[in-house]
């Protein structure tokens, strides 16, 4: 399995715990269960609204000697109303305060999308701002400054197309180290994956299970159920494992990081056990055959009337 190694020798554990949609009151226990199970990578974001509870869980784990800070990989993300260069470091500092950490391992620009500074989540299109107002390279330079200052060891992006990765790289001479995007067998992102492989950019697969627990306004009514897909189910039967485990193992074996979300102790452990599995070449090929460019997270939430963003401009497709 590919080692997710950075140019300075740091290695990101390829399996992480996702925390999007993990409710306050549940996420702290999930993080503790995950660390006790063996997870060493926790994926967070300001917008998930649960970083303070994760911070409490981490500080208890450290205080009790269950894990050391230097054994953990903690990622967080810059939210869409903090792209102005002078707001980037304060946003990171706020996340560090909530997580009760001195530094992050990885900080990502969460979306190539801008909200008005006073807007956490837009209720109308006019609360979103075109990217021309704060071009991505300007935000990226502020991210580089955060890394130079040691507030985060690594920096990257999320939901960025090849075109947008190139835009920030060409303008600043500094390439994102990671791109975190949706990837599952119906959305394998072959072009992005080839580009990242060629350029030593690490990919992290989010929503590897199809994120069935997200809210209705962020869901299509006719979306497929990965757990009922006949190819995935038949491979699961052959391994006497769950379809979720097949999906996670597929991502690991493709050489990406993967961050399945769970707040259920049994499922947190089950997902971790994928580190011991192995899918055959024929099974990987059968899964490769499922590609149909289907996004569960298609960007429709940003397409409200008057918004400067469309799914087409978001994904550059």
Which whole-number Å values give the CA distances from 109 to 91, 115, 192, in the listed order? Answer: 11, 13, 17
- 237 lies in the site for ligand A2P, by CB under 6 A: no
- Compute the residue count for the chain: 317
Annotated active-site residue 48? The verdict is: yes
- 267 lies in the site for ligand A2P, by CB under 6 A: yes
Q: Which residues, 195 to 224, sit near ligand A2P by CB under 6 A?
A: 207-213
Among 18, 122, 176, 299, which residue sits at the site for ligand A2P (rule: CB under 6 A)?
Answer: 18
Which whole-number Å values give the CA distances from 184 to 23, 30, 102, 208, in the listed order? Answer: 24, 23, 33, 5
User: Across 27-159, where does the E strand assignment appear?
Assistant: 41-43, 73-78, 104-109, 114-115, 128-129, 152-158
Among 57, 101, 146, 263, which residue sits at the site for ligand A2P (rule: CB under 6 A)?
Answer: 263
Among 95, 204, 256, 270, which residue sits at the site for ligand A2P (rule: CB under 6 A)?
Answer: 270
CB nearer to ligand A2P: give 22 or 81: 22
Alpha-carbon gap, residue 243 to 229, rounded angstroms: 9
Q: How far is the CB of 272 from ligand A2P (least distance, A)?
A: 10
Q: Which residues, 129 to 188, sit near ligand A2P by CB under 6 A?
A: none
- 264 lies in the site for ligand A2P, by CB under 6 A: yes
- 260 lies in the site for ligand A2P, by CB under 6 A: yes
State the pairing for strand pair 114-115/128-129: antiparallel
Q: Which long-range contacts (CB under 8 A, 24 or more apart) does 163-170 make?
A: 163/316, 164/112, 164/136, 164/316, 165/195, 165/201, 167/136, 167/137, 168/136, 168/137, 168/140
Alpha-carbon gap, residue 299 to 211, rounded angstroms: 14
Q: How far is the CB of 137 from ligand A2P (least distance, A)?
A: 30
Count of residues near ligand A2P by CB under 6 A? 18
In the set 48, 107, 206, 272, the catalytic residue is 48
Q: Which stretch binds ligand A2P (CB under 6 A): 1-9, 103-111, 128-136, 266-274?
A: 266-274
- 261 lies in the site for ligand A2P, by CB under 6 A: yes
Among 242, 253, 307, 313, which residue sits at the site for ligand A2P (rule: CB under 6 A)?
Answer: 242
For residue 3 the two structure tokens come to 């080692």
For residue 296 the two structure tokens come to 């569960």
Alpha-carbon gap, residue 223 to 246, rounded angstroms: 19
Catalytic residue numbers, as ranges: 48
- Footprint of ligand A2P (CB under 6 A): 18, 207-213, 242, 244, 260-264, 267, 270-271
């Amino acid at each position: 399995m590919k080692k997710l190694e950075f140019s300075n020798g740091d290695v990101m554990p390829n399996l992480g715990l996702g925390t999007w949609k993990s409710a306050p009151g549940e996420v702290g226990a999930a993080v503790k269960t995950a660390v006790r199970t063996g997870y060493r990578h926790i994926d967070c974001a300001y917008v998930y609204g649960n970083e303070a509870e994760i911070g409490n869980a981490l500080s208890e784990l450290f205080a009790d000697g269950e894990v050391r800070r230097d054994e953990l990989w903690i990622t967080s993300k810059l939210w869409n109303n903090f792209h102005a260069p002078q707001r980037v470091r304060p946003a990171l500092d706020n996340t560090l305060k909530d997580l009760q950490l001195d530094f992050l391992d990885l900080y990502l620009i969460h979306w190539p999308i801008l909200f008005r500074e006073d807007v956490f989540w837009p209720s109308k299109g006019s609360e979103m701002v075109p990217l021309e107002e704060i071009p991505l390279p300007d935000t990226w330079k502020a991210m580089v400054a955060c890394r130079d200052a040691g507030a985060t060891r690594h920096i990257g992006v999320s939901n960025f197309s090849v075109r947008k990765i190139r835009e920030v790289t060409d303008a600043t001479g500094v390439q994102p180290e990671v791109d975190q995007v949706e990837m599952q067998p119906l959305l394998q992102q072959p072009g992005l994956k080839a580009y990242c492989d060629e350029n030593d950019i690490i990919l992290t697969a989010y929503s590897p299970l199809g994120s069935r627990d997200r809210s209705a306004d962020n869901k299509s009514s006719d979306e497929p159920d990965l757990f009922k897909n006949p190819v995935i189910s038949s491979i699961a039967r052959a391994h006497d494992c769950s379809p979720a485990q097949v999906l996670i193992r597929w991502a690991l074996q493709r050489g990406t990081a993967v961050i399945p979300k769970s707040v259920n102790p049994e499922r947190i452990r089950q997902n971790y056990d994928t580190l011991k599995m192995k899918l055959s070449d024929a099974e990987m090929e059968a899964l490769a055959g499922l590609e149909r460019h289907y996004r569960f997270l298609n960007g429709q939430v940003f397409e409200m009337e008057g918004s400067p963003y469309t799914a087409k401009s978001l994904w550059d497709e």
